[in-house]
Amino acid sequence: MKKIVFAVAVLCIAVAIVLVFALRPASGPVLRVEPAGERDIVLEYGQTYEEAGAEAVAWEGLSKDRIVPVETEGTVDAQKVGTYMVRYRARYKDSVGTAYRRVRVVDTQAPVIQLSGGQDQYIRPGEPFVEEGYSAADNYDGDITAQVQVKQTDDAVIYTVTDSSGNVSVATRRLLPADTVAPVVTLKGDKRVVLAWGDGYPEPGFTAVDNCEGDVTSRVKVSGSVSIYRPGTYTLTYSVADAFGNVGSATREVVVKEWEPAPEGEANGNGKVIYLTFDDGPGPHTDRLLDILKAHDVKATFFVVDTKYISTVKRAAEEGHAVGIHTATHVFKDIYASEEAYFADLEQIRKQVETYTGTSPVLMRFPGGSSNTISKSNKGIMTRLAALVEEKGYTYFDWNVDSKDAGGATTPEEVLSNVIEGVGNKSHSVVLMHDIKSYTVDAVEWIIRWGKSCGYTFAVLTPDGPTCHHVINN
């Protein structure tokens, strides 16, 4: 029995010794690893992750000035949402130190919903809502239009979309009742205006008011026009549209009466004379011009060129018009090359006129007028020619009213306007026109009617009548 007790005692002592040595602290160094910065980082998707690293810190038995390298394991993809663990580990002899950093890449930005056609849609009574379109884009998921949930209520359409991170966006399109009432256009003055031939048309004016937008007068458009020299009935339309496309309009009728000549004794009462002169013809419109002049018993002066219509000068002379000469060729560089060249050209057209009229013409007009600058390459030639033509028995004429039908005017109205402005209060008006222009011939009847209504008389130029000379520039 004593032997058993002894054996148990020995065994207990042995176990105690083993436990003492097993629980005794190690005598070697122990490492501690410390990550630099935060151990738990939240990073927004798309931001840049910068690794801060870690360091080994002395614990027991390790000198503080000893540098122990720290290994970094694990990567962070900032372009992908998720949780990433970075492990830092250091080893010294038999001691190992370990630490971790958690990096969470998150997406907190909500998607963006775009509504086509704006946030408000106007619907007319009884019309259904028509979707104008929408799109949804997320900074992480990209195009998520297909995931948009659409819900329509009585007064709105609600668009909702959720991205893969749970971010929610909502957009609302308001459904508003559309305006169906057109603006009201009100004309000032009479709705039917009667004008005497040639009277100006002063627009009486108008206003426009919309039930939603108020005064929209500035947006009124007037279509149609009035020619105070063409008898007839004209319709002017005044229209304006509101923001909903409702169009309001009104019309005015303008009647231009036929021309009525001034009463006998008044037409010639002021003693002012208009000389209608035509250059560069005859042309395809000259016969029509002669018809107009004959119908109004008006005589004109023609400064002609050698054209294929030259025979028309015979009719002009027979009907009492003055036929003067202008140039045979109208080629300035050749005509003004020398005095001899000029008179050779002039003689050519003189013979043509004499052939058809039986009379040698004495009236003439220089190509470009006596004040032309085209001839300046031949210094002083216009001064010399002006004296020479008079020595040879010619009387030359320039003009003091330019219809501008050879440059600027392209319609009968413009020709007439230029003539009226040019005549002004002149006692004698020599009007430059060209019978090769159809719109000029169209304007002649208007010019005659206007002149007679204002008390002017029309006459032909003569060698012993008033002349019209420009200041010679060469």
Query: Which residues are marked as active site?
Result: 279, 434
Whole-number Å distance between alpha carbons of 218 and 239: 11
- The secondary structure of 91-103, three-state, reads EECCEEEEEEEEE
- CA separation for the pair 117, 110 (Å, rounded): 22
Residues facing 352 on adjacent strands:
none
The whole-angstrom separation of Cα 103 and Cα 143 is 27
Residue 463 in tokens:
């060698």
Helix (H) / strand (E) containing 169: strand 168-177
> In sequence order, which residues have a C-beta less than 8 Å from that of residue 318 and are 6 or more positions away?
none
Task: Write the CB contacts of 15 (distance below 8 Å, at least 6 apart in sequence).
Answer: none
Q: How far apart are the C-alpha atoms of 305 and 322, rounded to whole Å?
A: 14
Q: Please give the C-alpha separations between residue 383 and each of 90, 237, 371, in angstroms, as whole numbers.
A: 114, 57, 10
Which tokens sit at 448? 């005659």
**Residues linked to residue 431 through DSSP beta bridges, in sequence order:** 276, 401
Where is 347: in which H helix or E strand? helix 339-357
Characterize 230-248 residue by residue with b for buried, 16 or more Cβ atoms within 10 angstroms of its Cβ, and e for exposed. eeeebebebbbbbeeebeb
Residue 140 contacts residue 116 (beta carbons within 8 Å)? no
Report d(CA 119, CA 155) in Å as an integer: 12
Cα separation, 158 vs 152, in Å, equals: 6
**122 CB-near residues (< 8 Å, 6+ apart):** 176, 177, 178, 179, 244
